[in-house]
């Protein structure tokens, strides 16, 4: 039922995220809620477009979900000018 409630724009955005993160086997984005909770999807999305900013393997394998989310928010703010609107906690 959740899939039926998504708008066309949400489905297009979700498709873009899936396409952008397809080369990251640890990442499986199926929605805009639980798929993001471990921080891998956000970091993979950033890394897929700017791999020069950080070492993916270090982030994916050595940090807790909160640390990975904090890392992604900090990278987005520092290098891409995207303000942190949520708290990883």
Q: Which CATH architecture has domain 29-83?
A: Orthogonal Bundle (1.10)
Confidence band, pLDDT 50/70/90 cuts, at residue 62: confident
Q: Can you give the pTM of this predicted structure?
A: 0.84
The predicted pLDDT at position 36 comes to 93
Q: Where are the domains of the chain?
A: 29-83
Token pair recorded at residue 11:
């489905």
Cα angle, residue 85 at apex, residues 28 and 15 outer, rounded to 5° = 30
Q: What's the pLDDT tens digit per position in 11-59?
A: 899 999 999 999 999 999 999 899 999 999 999 999 999 999 999 999 9
Residue among 44, 17, 45 nearest 32 (CA): 17
């Amino acid at each position: 039922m959740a899939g039926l409630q998504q708008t066309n724009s949400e489905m297009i955005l979700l498709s873009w995220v899936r396409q952008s993160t397809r080369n990251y086997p640890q990442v499986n984005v199926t929605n805009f809620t639980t798929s993001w909770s471990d921080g891998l999807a956000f970091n993979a999305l950033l890394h897929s477009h700017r791999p020069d900013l950080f070492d993916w393997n270090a982030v994916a394998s050595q940090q807790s979900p909160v640390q990975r989310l904090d890392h992604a928010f900090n990278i987005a703010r520092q290098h891409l000018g995207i303000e942190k609107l949520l708290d990883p906690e």
